[in-house]
Chains A and B, each alone.
Chain A
Amino acid sequence: MSRFNVEDTDIDYKNIKLLKRCLTENGKIIPARLTRLNCCQQRRMAMAIKRARFLALIPYTVS
């Protein structure tokens, strides 16, 4: 995955398309060193992914 520009306000649990860019095929969160998001953005992204998982918008795991 390459660097992509994200506005802080875009990181939202509803923005599934954006969240999927930070997930592997199995649904794991990609680490910050690969997503190239800064520390703050990565934390918010992780939070957003976890919220979306809870609401069954994205799966916890893909087996």
Chain B
Amino acid sequence: MFYECILLIRPDVSAKHVAEVTRMIESIIEKNGGQVIGSEYWGFKTLAYRIEKRAKAHYVCLGFSLSCLDPIYAHLKFHKDVLRYLFIKKPKGLLFPTVQMQSSMMDLENQDILPDHTPEGAETTEYTGAES
């Protein structure tokens, strides 16, 4: 099954640490026989409301295929740097780069839905958090 995962990471950690957290989750996925399809850093964004007294957070989006989410839940539930997370089942496949990453959010004509994982889809993904 395909899943999309969004993580809200504490604002006081560096971009390098954000990449580390992401890499950790990716390794858990791969260890459990899953496949990472896309990984995106949406940026350091202002939250619409305060979460745990924090007004900003790093947004990370991961797309992957995995049979069982339990190992990731177990990791994230008590992770001190993750403010909030959300998993969404995507039975029809994943779309990378996501709408968030595209410069014009309403320009939806250029998007293609990937019915299943293809190497091309993996190549188009970008991760800006790793460099900075």
Contacts and interface: CB of A to CB of B under 8 A. Distances in A.
Given A7-B108, A16-B105, A17-B106, A55 B99 contact: no
A51 B105 contact: no
B49 A10 contact: no
B47 interface: yes
B49 A56 contact: yes
B105 A56 contact: no
A56 B57 contact: yes
Contacts, number: 42
A63 B84 CA distance: 24
Nearest to B46: A56
B27 interface: no
Contact of A55 (B6, B105, B111): B6
A14 B100 CA distance: 6
Contacts of B113: 9
Contacts of A54: 84, 86
Given A15-B99, A58-B48, A59-B49, 6 more contacts: A9-B113, A15-B108, A55-B8, A56-B51, A56-B57, A60-B48
Interface of B: 6, 8, 47-49, 51, 57, 59, 84, 86, 88, 98-100, 105-106, 108, 111, 113
Interface of A: 7, 9-10, 12-18, 51, 53-60
